[in-house]
């Protein structure tokens, strides 16, 4: 099996067609990775983060300097890794975030916290500002990966 780097337009198309991935956060020497739905507008990756008052996700988010988001498929075998700053979406950009999420996020439910009711949850929009965006395709040989 060989790996081939994706071109920028392939990465863009891949992210626009995906709806979920794994968001990895770190605080000091401890890491925390969670599945997250996302939206992508060609520039930022947007997340609608649901939390309760004891949210580990939000605790780690506060301590994370550089976040990593990984999206992959098995058939065909492809992956994209985005690394960068995770920041709250400014009020002026909430409509952009909402539209990006509505277009391609896989949103199973707003209540992702077991044994909790929706009225006990909060929601915030965040965006990942990619400083590094890489993608790979995997196949039996380089010719099988050509477009």
Distances in Å between the alpha carbon of 82 and those of 33, 36, 86?
A: 14, 14, 11
What does the pLDDT look like over 116-141, one tens digit per residue? Answer: 555 656 788 999 999 999 999 998 66
Global pTM reads 0.86
147 in any annotated domain: no
123 in any annotated domain: yes
Residue 73, phi-psi category: left (phi > 0), alpha (psi -120 to 50), beta (remainder): beta
In the prediction, which pLDDT does 127 show?
97
The CATH number covering residue 102 comes to: 2.30.110.10
18 in any annotated domain: yes
Structural domain boundaries, residue 85? 2-142
What does the pLDDT look like over 86-115, one tens digit per residue? Answer: 999 999 999 999 999 989 888 754 545 555
Looking at the structure of the chain, the number of domains it has is: 1
Work out the average pLDDT over 22-26.
Answer: 96
Mean pLDDT, the chain, rounded, equals 87
């Amino acid at each position: 099996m060989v790996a081939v780097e994706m071109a920028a337009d392939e990465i863009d198309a891949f992210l626009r067609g995906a709806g979920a991935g794994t968001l990895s956060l770190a605080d000091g020497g401890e890491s925390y990775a969670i599945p997250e739905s996302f939206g992508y507008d060609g520039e930022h990756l947007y997340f609608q983060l649901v939390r309760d008052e004891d949210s580990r996700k939000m605790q780690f988010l506060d301590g994370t300097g550089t976040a990593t988001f990984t999206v992959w498929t098995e058939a065909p075998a492809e992956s994209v890794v985005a690394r960068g700053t995770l920041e709250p979406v400014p009020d002026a950009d909430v409509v952009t975030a909402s539209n990006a999420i509505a277009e391609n996020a896989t949103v199973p439910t707003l209540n992702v916290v077991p044994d909790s009711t929706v009225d006990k949850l909060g929601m915030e929009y965040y965006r990942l500002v990619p400083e590094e965006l890489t993608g790979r395709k995997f196949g039996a040989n380089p010719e099988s990966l050509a477009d």
